[in-house]
Chains A and B, each alone.
Chain A
Amino acid sequence: MKYVLSFFFMALLLLNAKLLLAQQPAVAGLRFDYKKYYLDQRKKKYTGTDTIEVVYRFTNSGTQPLLIESVSSSCSCSVPDYTKAPVKPNETGYIKLTTTYDKLSLIKKVHAVVIANTKEKYYKLELFLSGKDNVNP
């Protein structure tokens, strides 16, 4: 009797889980490793027109292919590059912001707006000339 009851209980649990999954729409998800980057001059000293390149890696945390529709920078001082092809679930892509030290020194920070085919749709990535502790994740 105990085994019969356990079996029915497990079956019920599995059925609920399946129903729950079936109700959730299949969507793409965008999860960044980090969205803020602080230029750490302790690791490398930047001067003048030295190029600064920051790569923001992301993972598709959803169940559908993820598409980065556009990336636009807050200023013409920074040129974005990004994964153009659809990113499959659980796979990774990147967004790269490039600028020069003299330009970043002038404005102290740059941001880019990312538009993707996710529920949130909009994301902000930031690059700072310096941070409190110059700590990046």
Chain B
Amino acid sequence: MAVTNAIAPAIAPTPTVIATRVLLNPLNLNNYPKSVGISCAKNVCISQAFFATPNSLTMKYFLHCLFITFLLASCTSEEAPVTEKIVLRNIQFHELNIDTLLVEPPARSGSGFFRLSGNNLYFFDDIFLTVSVFDTAGNFVQRYLGKGHRPDEIEDFLFANFLADSSLVFLGKSYNISRYDQQFTAQYQVDMDWNRKANIQYGLSDGDKTGTYGYNYYNGFYDNRWLSVIHQNKLIIPIWISPGVNSRLNAFRNYEAYYERAKTVGVVDLRSGKVEKIFGRRSPAYKKYGAIPNYDFLTLDSRLDSIYVSQAIDSMIQVYGPDYELAYEFGVAGQNMNTSYPTAATPMESEKIWIKAFTDYGYYYNVYCDRTSAMIFRPYTKDESNIGGLQIYEHAALIADVAVPKRFNIIGKIGEYYYADGLVNEDQLGLYRFKLP
């Protein structure tokens, strides 16, 4: 389907501006793709219907006034602001030529993830706590860290990534933050501070309190535990409310209220560890599916001042601006995804089904923003087969949705090649590599 004359704005107009467009030029959808009208807020859609039906001038005048009144009332209400939802397809190719680059470190446990920095590829072994470096031909170069307390060792890690200056940030098993320099020498370690008050029973109305949240580590089997840093010193993280912290507001108990009130993203100061800000909202799709706690997760990345959030079961990628407000959403649903998600009312039920929930159903498990272009990559699972999908967006338009192996997390680009994590098991270790046609 060809794209009409629609250009995704960097920041969406405010609600007032959107309403004005409709008022001055009713039913003018020429500036948007047709599908945008489907997702508009109630007040905008109602206005379109009113302008389409009346016959007499008096009736038209009356309805104009009624609409303006209604609009003003809506604009002063506490409801979530209208955001643009963009569904654009501009398919340019249907398949990728993918190479597999196998690597062999001196020792491997079969568990970990890949990263990329400069012209080298790095395997973070989360059992041996080592980082093995390879060149783009797959040759082993060097190994860093290992378990220990010396400055050139590390006690543990679950997540890790390079910052723009090639220094590193690690997130440990206790969700403490460790910073290492470019030579893999420890700089400092700090605990994440959620401002949790002791002796407080967090409840149903505490969705805006930082202390009720924790790091949302849940992310299926194919997650590569990406960490994203914005503004050079703020870590952005997925968050959730654990039933252990808040027994009233969580994905099991009062899940509808949880979907509506609980935030999704946290901002952590890298130096102090303080969780300074919580924001974001869950997709309305969650309410549609009911109690699906196994899919209460998201992945995120940042580019310049924008934060891109992809929730497990939502085709939309949310884009938050530098003020942490939702600016707009874009996305197209993946192909042939099994979305008959199993429900679970308790943590025990969720535990029983978690393997099947992650292996047999379709969900979006990562989002990556190429900092050198307008490309955004989003891999997803479809069902129990070994084939997954990879969506490639340019700005907000889907330019390709291609078949890829399950676990295909884009980690960066060297020269013309994009690299994806990966083939990680006890028998083989490797990355995928491809060029865009």
Binding site for B on A (CB under 8 A): 70, 72, 111, 113, 115, 119-124
Contacts and interface: CB of A to CB of B under 8 A. Distances in A.
A113 B128 contact: yes
B147 A121 contact: no
Interface in B122-159: 125, 127-128, 130, 146-147
B107 interface: yes
15 contacts: A70-B147, A113-B109, A113-B128, A115-B147, A119-B106, A120-B107, A121-B106, A121-B107, A121-B146, A122-B130, A122-B146, A124-B109, A124-B110, A124-B127, A124-B128
A119 B105 CA distance: 11
Interface in B297-322: none
Contacts of A70: 147
Given A113-B109, A124-B127, 19 more contacts: A70-B147, A72-B147, A111-B127, A113-B128, A113-B147, A115-B146, A115-B147, A119-B106, A120-B106, A121-B107, A121-B146, A122-B109, A122-B125, A122-B130, A122-B146, A123-B107, A124-B109, A124-B110, A124-B128
Contacts of B147: 70, 72, 113, 115
B156 to A, nearest CB: 10
A72 B109 CA distance: 14
The DSSP consensus for interface residues of chain B is loop
A72 B156 CA distance: 12
A62 to B, nearest CB: 14
A117 to B, nearest CB: 13
A119 B127 CA distance: 18
A105 B416 CA distance: 49
Interface string B193-211: 0000000000000000000
A102 B127 CA distance: 24
A53 to B, nearest CB: 23
Nearest to B130: A122
The size bracket of the interface on B is: 10 to 19
Contacts of A122: 107, 109, 125, 128, 130, 146
A113 B106 contact: no
A101 to B, nearest CB: 20
A111 B109 CA distance: 10
A66 B128 CA distance: 19
Question: Lowest 5 A-B CB distances belong to which pairs?
Answer: A122-B128, A120-B107, A122-B107, A124-B109, A120-B106
Contacts of A113: 109, 127-128, 147
A37 to B, nearest CB: 15
B108 to A, nearest CB: 8
A83 to B, nearest CB: 20
Contacts of B106: 119-121
A122 B145 CA distance: 12
B146 to A, nearest CB: 7
Contacts of B107: 120-123
A111 B128 CA distance: 11
Contacts of B110: 124
A104 to B, nearest CB: 17
A115 B150 CA distance: 15
A62 B107 CA distance: 17
Nearest to A123: B107
Contacts of A120: 106-107
B180 to A, nearest CB: 19
Interface in B64-114: 106-107, 109-110
Contacts of A115: 146-147
A44 B242 CA distance: 40
A1 B187 CA distance: 72
Interface in B177-232: none
A33 to B, nearest CB: 18
A119 B106 CA distance: 7
A113 B128 CA distance: 7
Contacts of A121: 106-107, 146
Contacts of B125: 122
Contacts of B146: 115, 121-122
A87 B364 CA distance: 51
Nearest to A36: B426
A115 B107 CA distance: 11
A34 to B, nearest CB: 14
Contacts of B128: 113, 122, 124
Which has the most chain B C-beta neighbours within 10 Å: A70, A115, A119?
A: A115
Contacts of A119: 106
Contacts of A111: 127
A123 B147 CA distance: 12
A70 B150 CA distance: 15
Which has the most chain B C-beta neighbours within 10 Å: A119, A121, A124?
A: A124
Contacts of B127: 111, 113, 124
Nearest to B111: A124
B364 to A, nearest CB: 28
